[in-house]
A and B are shown apart, each in its own frame.
Chain A
Amino acid sequence: MRAGGFVFFKTNHMSGLLRWLIAAVVLSAAAFFMGEYHNDVYRKLLLWVTLALGYNFLFGICGQVAFSHFAFYGIGAYSIVIFLFQLHLPFPIAVLCGIALCILFALAVAIPSTRLEGFYLALATLALGQLFIVVLNEGGSVTGGTGGIANYRLPELFGMRVRGPWYTGVIVLLLVFTYSILKRLDDSWFGRACRAVRDNPEAAAAMGVDVARTKVIAFTLTSALAGVAGMVYAFVDNTVNPPIFGIENAFLLLFMVIVGGAGRHAGAVIGAVLLFLLPFWLSPLVGHHHALVFGVLVVAAILFQPGGLIGLWDRFSRSRS
């Protein structure tokens, strides 16, 4: 009876689109039952999950060790604010320019570095991440320096200003949009090519996979998605400032994917939720030393459970059946 109900819920009777819609409505509706504080935490959580999904595609599925994901998140966030409120571009143009900027930067980093071995991509993206923070801090009136930019509001669209829990709905849409793109790519020849490149580039090339091109596309695409997420983030606190986009968060993202289970969408979600919420539970116990706990978790995952928590769950469910 229960099994029958599950099958009904999962397949045939519901088209893919409808399932996405229901997921979006449920995730958005939750925001309306929260206070302002919890809604804020919830929004940040959704953004972390979105970023982790994208980073998982790059690192977990395509095997590229990059530390630039937060720089692109920042490029998206800063560019939408600068384009809208300093250059006074119309909203859709500002969004497109922001995406174009991310793609341009991504190509500039990816094309030279993916042609070399993986180590160079890590170095190049680390440099980009650091450079980006320097540019933000030294950017004068354009970036607002160390204080960043504040005191702006999301412009009205079609005579409405989206805010409060409704804006949480926008973040949910971002998450669903990001996931649906990544899932489709992952289920296609492209996703398999990415995994093949990760596992054995020489064999992948012999199978007809253009290794450099695959890497560049995966890097550019996930970087552009991070940029779009950054644009959405810009109106969460209505302020953008440098520390958010630093290397620490890029490492945290890497930890989330490793702890959750690299290469699996569900792993990225679990890792992001766990490591995002852990400090809330840990701070009464260890204060600001939660980074220590994260470190132990990551080392434990790498040494004892390379499949991450999702791999642990797989083993558990397999042994039960």
Chain B
Amino acid sequence: MGPILQVEKLTKRFGGLTAVAELDFEVREGEILGMIGPNGAGKTTTFNVIAGTYPATGGEVRFAGEPILGLPPHRIASRGVMRTFQHNRPFAGLPVIDNVLVGAHTRFAASLWSVVLGSARSDEGQRRKRAEELVQFVGLGELRDADVATLSFGQGRLLEIARALAGEPRLILFDEPAAGLTPAECARLAEIIRGIAARGIAVLLIEHDMHFLLPLAQRVVVLNFGAKIADGLPDEVRAHPAVMDAYLGSHATPQ
């Protein structure tokens, strides 16, 4: 499978601080790529630059062959890159199903005029049905019409995922999806992420929890101080000396 996302020499500086330095990696179609690194390694910055939240200082990001760096977040989403937030950000005034429908925003065919003239009903029904399927897929079926304020943290995370899937992404970005979840919820989440990849959607998973990420990812990129220190298969990365350094400190390197 070819690459869906290509990141080349991506650099992001905040004043004098270089958060990401000349980072190269790619995500292939249908794969789960893990990005790992200790706190402050530049994972979330990389994520936000790809999603269009921060402008980059330099480098190039191509999605499906097209450069996307510098596009506003809504444009990047409409091209098929959807994301979840590390701290759940639901639309508090909307029930669960409508939160998911907002995720499908860019997929509605009806123009504003046809909405005003009342000729856009069929599109709405079809999208709603699809959103219901996604709510089922993440396991929130019974909470379809619930007020999002009544969801637990873990359920809120599942809602984030259903909402991102509603945009029919070709690439989905997960920002530390396991953060704050119970072990049981983590297991369920891993299952869902595998299910997403099985649908042919590429997954970029940013995580600092190795125990969650390594069994899940097909390939792993390791960051430290904004630079890539290793990449490869999970087992290779696990045994890589630079990774052990970064995670455990230099004296822990086995001889």
Contacts and interface: CB of A to CB of B under 8 A. Distances in A.
B1 interface: no
Q: Which of the listed residues B102, B112, B118 has the most CB atoms from chain A within 10 Å of its own CB?
A: B102
A173 interface: no
Contacts of B77: 205-208
Given A198-B93, A203-B91, A204-B102, A209 B115 contact: no
Interface string A3-43: 00000000000001000000000000000000000000000
Prevailing SS type, chain A contact patch? helix
Contact of B102 (A202, A207, A211, A217): A207
A185 B115 contact: yes
Nearest to B173: A206
B115 A195 contact: no
Interface stretch (B21-29, B32-40, B56-64, B81-89): B81-89
Interface in A163-184: 180-181, 184
B155 interface: no
Interface stretch (A128-136, A186-194, A270-278): A186-194
A209 B93 contact: no
B74 A205 contact: yes
Interface stretch (B7-15, B103-111, B137-145, B237-245): B103-111
B43 interface: no
B59 to A, nearest CB: 21
Contacts of A199: 90-94
B167 A208 contact: yes
Contacts of A192: 94, 98, 101-102, 105
Interface of A: 16, 180-181, 184-185, 187-190, 192-193, 195-196, 198-200, 202-211, 217, 263
7 contacts: A187-B124, A196-B94, A196-B105, A199-B93, A202-B73, A206-B85, A208-B77
